[in-house]
Structures are given as C-alpha cells and as structure tokens.
C-alpha cells in the first residue's frame, strides 16, 4: 500500500529532534506565543531573507489578516486564480471584498497574467497569485501589471516553501506573502499553523495587531483584532523541521525527475511542466491523464492512493453560485479539470515505489 501522503515516515526520520522540541515547550509551559514561536518567526524570516514574519493560527487566517492589514474590504475587488484551494478566495470574502476569478495557464496551472489584466476594474485593489503545487506563478509579469495599475500583490505561498524564480524565493516578490504549515505542506506543523511575511514595517504592525486582539503590549488594545495565534509546540516543531526543508525539497525534486523519466513514453499522460529558471518544489506531483477516473480506480486496486487537486475549479462550486462571471471566462482550467491527477509525493517516497506506480500506470494503458 502506497499512501498519498505518509507523514509517519518523516516523523520516524527525525523523531528525537521533534520529541525534544515538544518536551521543551511542555517543560517550559510556553504554550501560546513565547520564545519558541518567536525563534521560529526569526528563523523563517532569515530563511526567506525578509524583514518580518508574523505567525498566526493557519494559512487561511494569514491571507485574511494580510488583506485586512492592506485595508481591503467592502466594495473592493481582489483577483484570484480559478484553480486553487478555496482559502484564497474565501479569505477575500471574509474581509467583505469580492473575489474575481482569473483563468490559469494550462501547462503550469498558475494564474495567467493576461487574464488578470482583463479583470481589472476601478474597484480592483489586489492580486493574489498562488504558487500552485509548488511552481511559482509568473511573478515578473504579475508585478509589472500590479505596478501599472497600482495594485497590491499578496503571494499565497501555502504550497511553495522554498520555491524560487532565478534564485529568488517565492514569498519575496509581493507586498505580503502568506504561508500555511498544514501538516502535509512542504514545511508542516503537527496541527494548524501559518504566517505572513513582508518587508514593510507599517504592514507588520497592522498584521500583528489584527492577529492578537489589537494589542502589541498586553491590555493595550489599539484596535479590535482577533485571536489568531501560533502555539509554542508548533513553533518548536517548525523550527526543528525548517532545518531539513531544503533537503526535503531536493528529495521531492529528485522524485519528480524519476516520475518524469518513467512516464515520459506514455502518450496518454502529460507530466508536470516547470519553467527554465523556476524551482518547482512539488508539493503536488500532478499529471494530466486520459481516462483519469478509471486510471484512479486501477491504481487504487493496486494499492496506490491518489488525489485530485482540485476536483472542481472554484467558480464551479456551490459556494460561488452567486458570482456574475460566466464560465466562458475560465476555458483553460475547465478544459484540463477532468484530466488532473495527483500521484503520491513526499521526500521519503522510494525509487522502487515510484517505479511500481509508473508500471501500474503503464499497465492500465496497455490493457
């Protein structure tokens, strides 16, 4: 049986470090905020080469808090991709603004810069590119569009810890970037966790206030904020795991190469594309496959778990029945939606397992 994600293997590989991290938090009763959270924020900011890291409860809150800190709310529009996890658009609605969907690029799955421009109106305030599956969006084009139309850019880096464009890390292009440390992410906690990063001092203060009841100093509430804090245990675990992130990403990249090599001669399958100079960190290894659903059943019978990220493009969900945008605006993502399939991908996956998965795919198409 090959699991889609196997977090136990990673824990087994650094059990002592993790157990020690957890027990020091318990011994020190540093349960919420405190030194383990602060040192993680410092380390993660250093890793990215940014000035500030504001920790919070999860990656969805991170987007919502960042939008609030940018002053985005009722009457504003924010452009998001059609193809992403719902948090990206949900956070826009949660601050009272309107998510406006823009179509994606067929080979890369990230937001299409030309589609962004088509959807800009006088109400547009920001763009949220998502570095989907671990491949950075076309940030050069997106930053130019943002500059031209004076829009904020908030990078959703929930799937892109360590991804790069020409050596520059995802999360260092926009006004803000948000990360999720959901357990299965490239850098994952043992529960919910998230953060916001920026080089802007003023935005840092605003986001910090919003995430912790409007206080920088205890009991001095400058505004009404909310409770979105990070636990000490998650901070300590993330600090321990951050040391391994580059190594784990390299293993993901090497696994992707092995998949690509084994799958390249199967005509019914298209392997994921990267872009020259872009470092894809393969949070998800997504193929396009003919007869996707039947292939999925075949793999399941062979003991191989797969997933679909995501079965429905956001504008097709009931949650967005009310939007005024027509389906014709999202041709590309609708077109590839029935074919996408995510294969098992984690650093600890073995060469033999990848070969077995690819052989099983070959077997399906040769029947």
Ligand X SMILES: *Cc1c(COP(=O)(O)O)cnc(C)c1O
Structure tokens at 334: 């609708």
**How many residues are recorded in the chain?**
367
Number of residues that bind ligand X (CB under 6 A): 15
Residue of 283, 242, 349 whose CA lies nearest to 18:
242
Kindly state the smallest distance separating residue 40's Cβ from ligand X, in Å: 15
Other Cβ atoms less than 10 A from the Cβ of 295: the count is 21
Q: Which of 110, 124, 159, 274 binds ligand X (CB under 6 A)?
A: 159
Give yes or no for residue 228 binding ligand X (CB under 6 A).
no
Contact segment (CB under 6 A) with ligand X among 56-64, 213-221, 321-329, 357-365 equals 56-64
Q: Which stretch binds ligand X (CB under 6 A): 36-44, 80-88, 209-217, 316-324?
A: 80-88
Q: Is 174 in the site for ligand X (CB under 6 A)?
A: no
| 2 makes contact with ligand X (CB under 6 A) | no
Tell me the C-alpha to C-alpha distance, in Å, between residue 84 and each of 13, 75, 189, 269: 31, 23, 21, 22
Whether residue 348 contacts residue 5, with contact meaning beta carbons closer than 8 Å, is answered with: no
Residue 141 burial by CB count (10 A; 0-12/13-18/19+): exposed, middle or buried? middle
The dihedral of CA 198, 50, 204, 162: what is its sign? positive
* Selected binder of ligand X within 55, 82, 87, 255 (CB under 6 A): 87
Token couple for 339: 């074919």
Residue 158 is a binding residue for ligand X (CB under 6 A) = yes
Supply the DSSP symbol for 272: P
Q: Does 333 bind ligand X (CB under 6 A)?
A: no
Whole-angstrom distance, CA of residue 242 vs CA of residue 228: 22
Closer of 185 and 270 to ligand X (Cβ): 185
Where does this chain touch ligand X (CB under 6 A) — which range of 10-18, 58-66, 169-177, 330-338? 58-66
Q: Give 209 or 230: the residue with its C-beta nearer to ligand X.
A: 230
Residues at the site binding ligand X, with contacts judged by CB under 6 A: 58-60, 84-85, 87-88, 130, 156, 158-159, 180, 182, 192, 194
């Amino acid at each position: 049986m090959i699991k889609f994600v196997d977090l136990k293997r990673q824990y087994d590989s650094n059990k002592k470090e993790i157990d020690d991290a957890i027990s020091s938090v318990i011994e020190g009763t540093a349960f919420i905020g405190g030194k383990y959270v602060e040192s993680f924020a410092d380390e993660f900011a250093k890793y990215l080469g940014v000035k500030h890291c504001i920790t919070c409860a999860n990656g969805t809150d991170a987007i919502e808090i960042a939008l609030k800190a940018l002053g985005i709310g009722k009457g504003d529009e924010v452009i998001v991709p059609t193809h992403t996890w719902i948090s990206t658009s949900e956070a826009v609605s949660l601050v009272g603004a309107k998510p406006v969907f823009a179509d994606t690029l067929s080979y890369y799955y990230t937001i299409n810069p030309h589609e962004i421009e088509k959807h800009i109106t006088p109400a547009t305030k920001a763009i949220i590119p998502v570095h989907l599956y671990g491949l950075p969006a076309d940030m050069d084009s997106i930053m130019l569009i943002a500059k031209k139309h004076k829009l904020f850019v908030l990078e959703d880096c929930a799937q892109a810890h360590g991804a790069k464009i020409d050596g520059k890390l995802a999360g260092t292009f926009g006004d803000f970037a948000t990360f999720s440390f959901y357990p299965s992410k490239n850098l994952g906690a043992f529960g919910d966790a998230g953060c916001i990063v920026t080089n802007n001092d003023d935005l840092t203060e605003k986001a910090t206030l919003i995430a912790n009841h409007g206080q920088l100093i205890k009991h001095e509430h400058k505004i009404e904020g909310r409770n979105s804090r990070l636990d000490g245990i998650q901070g300590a675990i993330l600090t321990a795991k951050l040391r391994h992130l580059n190594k784990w990403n390299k293993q993901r990249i090497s696994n992707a190469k092995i998949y690509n090599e084994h799958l390249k001669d199967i005509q019914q399958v298209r392997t994921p594309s990267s872009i020259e100079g872009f470092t894809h960190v393969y949070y998800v290894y997504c193929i396009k496959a003919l007869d996707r659903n039947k292939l999925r059943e075949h793999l399941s019978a062979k003991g191989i778990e797969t997933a679909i990220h995501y079965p429905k493009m956001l504008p097709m969900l009931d949650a967005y029945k009310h939007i005024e945008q027509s389906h014709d605006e999202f041709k590309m993502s609708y077109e590839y939606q029935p074919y996408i399939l995510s294969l098992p991908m984690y650093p600890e996956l073995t060469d033999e397992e990848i070969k077995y998965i690819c052989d099983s795919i070959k077997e399906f198409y040769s029947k």
